[in-house]
Structure 1
Amino acid sequence: MKLTTRIMLISLSAITFATLSASASAETEWQKQHPRRAEVNHRLANQDKRIHQERKEGEIGKQKARELHQQDRAIRQQERADARQNHGHITKQEQKTLNQEENTVSKEIGK
């Protein structure tokens, strides 16, 4: 491999790492600064724990746990998409919609 190619690859790697680090810290800041997002994400984390506990206790099967996790991931993706559109915020209506979706999943845990 030529020296110039190596230098270009190293530079590209450094730029990629810096970009990923900046975007990860930006999302962390959003979560700290925006109570609606924090509330939605806290509920998702709580549901994740409940799903794991129900699975561990044998209350729900592996497939059901997988489906519930998949639904929670979809809610989290929607929350992030909403926040990206609103400069890191989610509106009250978006929060309400996400909470309604979380309620639906919550009712399925332990059935």
Structure 2
Amino acid sequence: MSRTNKMLSALLVSVLALGAAGSSFAETQWQKTHPRRTEVNDRLANQNRRIHQEVREGEMSKQKAAQLHKEDRQIRQEERDMASQNGGHITKQEQRTLNQQENGVSRQIGQ
């Protein structure tokens, strides 16, 4: 084997090893799209659209929108933290907790 071929082979083995190691830590598609996680994240996306619409229509200040976006980001982070502790999904109680938090933000939109 030439020196170039040996280097390419070593590089290929390294890339494959890193890819295998990285995939073992990554969430599977099922975990990312678990029904309870999907519902929570769909609500957050909907609230994001509603906030942007309120700002566009002049019914909400940019400062209020920033505060609501911050609350939504905290809820999304909490959802991710919960999922990481439960094998990529959230429990029904965790979903209820997150929905209650989302309800609080939702009530602030359109006031």
Q: Is 1:30 the equivalent of 2:31?
A: yes
Listed as ranges, the gaps of 5+ residues in structure 2 are 1-13
Bigger radius of gyration, 1 or 2?
A: 2
Distance 1:76 1:27, change over 3 A: farther
For structure 1, the residue ranges without an aligned partner over 5 or more in a row are 1-10
When you count helix as a share of all residues, which structure comes out higher?
A: 1
Measured on the aligned residues, the alpha-carbon RMSD in Å equals 2.4
1:107 match: 107
TM-score, normalised on structure 1?
0.76
Counterpart for residue 11 of structure 2: none
Number of aligned residue pairs:
97
What is the DSSP-based 3-state SS (H/G/I as helix, E as strand, rest coil) of the residue aligned with 1:38? Answer: helix
Deviations 1:71-107 (A, max 9, x none): 0000000000000000011001000000000000000
User: Percent sequence identity over matched residues?
Assistant: 60
Shift in Å at residue 30 of structure 1?
Answer: 1.5
Give, in whole Å, the separation in 1 of the partners of 2:28 and 2:39.
15
2:90 partner SS: coil
Where does structure 1 differ by over 3 angstroms across 4 or more consecutive aligned residues? none
Q: Which residue of 1 aligns with 2:71?
A: 71
How many Å separate the matches in 1 of 2:110 and 2:67? 13
Aligned counterparts of 2:63 and 2:85: Cα–Cα separation in 1: 33
- Give runs of aligned pairs for residues 39-54 of structure 1, distance below 5 A: 39-54=39-54
